[in-house]
Amino acid sequence: MEQKNSTGLQNIPLAKLDNEDTRYSSFSKRSSGLYKNASELVRECDVDLGIAISSSTGEQLVVVEARNKVCQYDDMIKEFDIIEKITNKKIRLSDQINEGWWESIDRFSIDDTMRFEAWLTFGEFTKS
């Protein structure tokens, strides 16, 4: 049987870090990991979750409602998806326009031009 080159997964005893910079860095990394895990739990299990963390100096108290943040981010993603769909639709319409409509634009009346501009801007084409 071959011997392993590495020691593998080991249990590291928890102890207070003496170096203040290392301690602060570790605190930041671990707290962001907690937020990430909490967000996944909220998203997958549809639960309410709160996290309270205070720094080693006791100066800051951070309270996070992960469900609200996840819902806010989901709402933002939905808004961006809607904007993307509208933009893609306008691009497709613009591509259709570029296929031959521009040759006849010089024959538009002022009313036709205004309706065409409104259609380009708002996606509405009103008949008078």
Domain-embedded: residue 41: yes
Domain-embedded: residue 114: yes
pTM of the prediction? 0.38
Q: What is the pLDDT of residues 48-86, one digit of tens each?
A: 777 777 766 665 545 556 667 777 888 899 999 999 999
Same domain membership, residue 60 and residue 100:
no
Count how many domains the chain has: 2
Number of Cα atoms under 13 Å in the Cβ half of residue 66? 22
Domain-embedded: residue 3: no
Q: What is the pLDDT of residues 99-126, one digit of tens each?
A: 666 666 667 788 888 887 888 887 655 5
- Only one residue has tokens 């521009």, namely 102
Domain-embedded: residue 112: yes
Angle 94-99-101 from CA coordinates, rounded to 5°? 80
- Could you give the CA distance from residue 26 to residue 91 in angstroms, rounded to a whole number? 47
Domain-embedded: residue 77: yes
Domain-embedded: residue 103: yes
Same domain membership, residue 96 and residue 118:
yes
- Could you give the CA distance from residue 124 to residue 115 in angstroms, rounded to a whole number? 8
Domain-embedded: residue 1: no
Give the domain extent around 62. Answer: 20-66
